[in-house]
Amino acid sequence: MSTQDLPAALDGAAARFGRYLEAERGRSAHTVRAYLSDVESLLAHAATEGIQDLAGLELGTLRRWLGAQSESGKSRATLARRAATARAFTAWAVREELIDADPALRLKAPKREKSLPGVLHQQQVQRLVDAAEAASAEGEPLALRNRAMLELLYASGVRVGELAGMDVDDLDPDRRTLRVLGKGNKERTVPYGLPAALAVDDWLRRGRPALATGSSGPALFLGARGGRVDQRQVRSVVKDMLERLGDTAATGPHALRHSAATHLLDGGADLRAVQEILGHSSLATTQIYTHVSVERLRQSYQQAHPRA
């Protein structure tokens, strides 16, 4: 059943939940779409069981929905996320008095598989930035931009969406810091190093003016036609750079974020400082990078110690 075929009461509840996430919780448009995709999947399943409004939702309905997701091959991480969405939705419905009791209170889903994120070695990062610098040597605007984006992603650990959304005045060149608008519209200040500062300055002096148009506005990074660079373009640039590196399975800008966090901890940075830099709301999210560091240490030990 498509979402267009949902009973009016269910469709209306989904729409109200979306407005709540956006207006009251300050969720981004991307996050709202992700939540609503899961909620609409649940309600479409409920409709196939003859449920016409939220009062008909039962724990069994939620469990059968997750079961169908599992049978279709969805990963444990996806099932855990969808169960969390269902709990958020039904808890909201109780608060809004759309239902009397919360059917998801006893809903459980498989625990997420704990996977270590792809991380580049410091030597690989050096080769990556060396290649970007060589490509920008002739001053071609897009090459200058690509080098600056790469340096800034690794130097600051920002998310790709945060990078694409930056304006020129978000930079403080004197203090070498960035003003970053992160998830939930939370603002943070992030430092960056001298190599990134030099690359960004080169882009601003020689690259950006060559691409800027009257409609470019304050965007820090521009596309070939002068508009603000979008996330897809950034991902494509970094993906191509990593593929040319040749000896890593890491893909995309998030690998640079993972690498920045891991290398900070490897270098002795405080875990809470790394949490602040990355913009994690929970320290537990940052702690996965300590596992990465320990795993890398273990691998090095096994390779190097004669009695490993």
The catalytic residues are 159, 183, 254, 257, 280, 289
| 150/126 Cα distance (integer angstroms) | 11
171-172, strands of its sheet edge to edge: 171-172, 177-181, 187-191
124 touches 252 (CB < 8 A): no
Going by C-alpha positions, the residue among 94, 96, 2 that lies closest to residue 45 is 2
Compute and round to an integer the Cα radius of gyration of the chain. 23
